Structure 1
Amino acid sequence: MDSTRHLTASTFLFARFGASWRMCVIAHPRHGSYRRPGGHVLEDQAETPQDAAMRKALEESGYRPRLLPAPLPEGYPHPAVPGPWWTVDIAAGPDSRADGRHLHRDHVFVGVVPLTYEPQGPPALPVRWVDRDALEVLDTPTDTKVLGAHLFDVIGAVARPRTAAAPDEELATELLRRMELDQEVRLLPPASRTPEVMERWQEIDRDNRIWLEQLLAVRGWPGISEVGERAATAVWLFAQHSDPAPDFQLRCRDLLAEAVLAGEADPRHSALLQDRVRIAQGRPQVFGTQLYADEAGELAPAPLWEAEQVDLRRLEVGLEPLEDYLHACRQTAVG
């Protein structure tokens, strides 16, 4: 075998589907099996292995991951730093860079995708997201199965912040106070919604949006460990009701998705905000959470992406079947 050694980079790519983690694999046409995204480092262009890992993940899967610090064992004496989690020499057959057998020095990274239904580009290869059980029987190299199984054990902890934020009772109290105002006007019967009430409604939403924008700029998205579940719901509500500021709402969508990855937010809230943003952008929603009154005056879901799979996606994030959701909303509207 040729002693030539080529630098390569690959990424174990994970995402949360509700409470469950899955790993991204691609159907590799040359190998005839599933592989993690990866490829050669462009050394002639001074590309680093980290940059190559990001580039190949985007090219092959359509996703631009956030690379994680190396998931070192508990009590390891040095802090985790950005870089490859694993580096290994692998015997390789002829490919686009060599006519004969040679070596690949593969730099293995670990990354996460916060928004699985928002790829950044079209994938060059067929993509599949597998859970741990599916990985065990997948047609994929043994090292991918062994290392992938280990990562399934630790990815939840690695994706979390190193230390959870300390509880902030003062912030939680303020969030709950503002949420009470948010709901107070929305729960009024339609007959009570005078022009003065609607103006007050808009004022409350605007005040909460400006306040939240300032809060996020200073300390980031408040998670459940910091403010509790009810107050964390308030953070999402203020973002959900920020329709007049689409750029801010889009930023909130991304921050909330990252909070879900870290186990610091409710996946249902993320689904609702993702749908809200997509509808505002003129795109079909993913989870069927956004409704409108049809020609008969009955509540119906706004346009859906791959409607035949919507209940599966709703189940993943903890939402009831779409028909049950519609029934409940229609009953509330009638009541």
Structure 2
Amino acid sequence: MKKTIMLTFTSILLLNCRDNKNISEQEKKQIISELNNIKILDQKYAGIPPADLKEKYGPRKAWEIFMKQRDSVALLNQGKIKSLYQKYGYLGYKQVGEIASGDFCIVIKHADNDLEFQQHMLEALKKEIEKGNADKANYAMLEDRVNVNLNKPQRFGSQVIYNGDGQAIPK
């Protein structure tokens, strides 16, 4: 247990020391492509189960299957985002452009299983906004997400859940 806490603390310290690295044009193209692929996969599992899954298994079983797939995809994507962050720092507008920067942030918002990561990235995002290098809307959504995960009220009301009928309701 102490080892895990120490590793987590060390990781956070290392992440806090990360500055944005200069990125070559070739790296930028590769990163943007990777972020786009990550976003596409993330968004496939961000909403509700597809109709064909519901038809094949029924609504309840479809949700069960879908949630397992979503968890697996989320962990895979988080690993990729953390790796990119460790290598390049926060990927804001100046590093990868507005669209890819948003793609970078999507996975962070969906990293509900790693609240420490979300909190750390919320602080990193705040610093990037102060530099004019990130979107304030992403900050609002991530702040709400962190607050929901801490059982605190949302400030902006951006987070919803879906009921069994696929209707969005505020968390």
Do the structures match in fold with TM over 0.5? Answer: yes
Answer 1 or 2: higher relative contact order, Cα 8 Å, separation at least 6.
2
Question: Which structure 2 residues correspond to residues 301-312 of structure 1 after superposition, within 5 A?
Answer: 301-302=170-171
Structure 1 counterpart of 2:41, one-letter code: L
The corresponding residue for 2:123 is: 254
More strand by share: 1
The corresponding residue for 1:174 is: 34
Change (3 A) 1:185 1:280: closer
Aligned mates of 2:106, 2:124 — CA distance in 1 = 14
Task: Give aligned-pair identity as a percent.
Answer: 27
Change (3 A) 1:258 1:190: same
Q: TM-score, normalised by structure 1?
A: 0.37
Question: Which structure 2 residues correspond to residues 1-335 of structure 1 after superposition, within 5 A?
Answer: 167=25, 168-186=28-46, 189=49, 191=51, 192=53, 194=62, 195-292=64-161, 299-302=168-171
Aligned mates of 1:239, 1:232 — CA distance in 2 = 11
Aligned mates of 2:111, 2:130 — CA distance in 1 = 23
Instruction: Give CA deviations for 1:30-78 in whole Å, capped at 9, x if unaligned.
Output: xxxxxxxxxxxxxxxxxxxxxxxxxxxxxxxxxxxxxxxxxxxxxxxxx
Structure 1 counterpart of 2:29, one-letter code: E
What's the C-alpha RMSD, in Å, of the aligned pairs?
Answer: 2.9
The corresponding residue for 1:101 is: none
Contact between 2:23 and 2:88, CA under 8 Å: does it hold in 1? no
Kindly name which structure, 1 or 2, has the bigger radius of gyration based on alpha carbons.
1
Change (3 A) 1:188 1:291: closer
The corresponding residue for 2:7 is: none
Instruction: Give CA deviations for 1:156-190 in whole Å, capped at 9, x if unaligned.
Output: xxxxx9x9866511111110011111112335645
Q: TM-score, normalised by structure 2?
A: 0.70
Deviating beyond 4 angstroms after TM superposition, the runs of 4 or more aligned structure 1 residues are 163-167, 187-191, 297-300
More helix by share: 2
Q: How many residues align?
A: 140
Structure 2 counterpart of 1:227, one-letter code: V
Aligned mates of 2:113, 2:37 — CA distance in 1 = 22
Aligned mates of 1:217, 1:285 — CA distance in 2 = 29
Shift of 1:246: 0.6
Instruction: Give CA deviations for 1:245-265 in whole Å, capped at 9, x if unaligned.
Output: 111111111111111111111
Which 5+ residue runs of structure 1 have no aligned equivalent?
Answer: 1-160, 303-335
The corresponding residue for 2:4 is: none
Aligned mates of 2:48, 2:144 — CA distance in 1 = 25
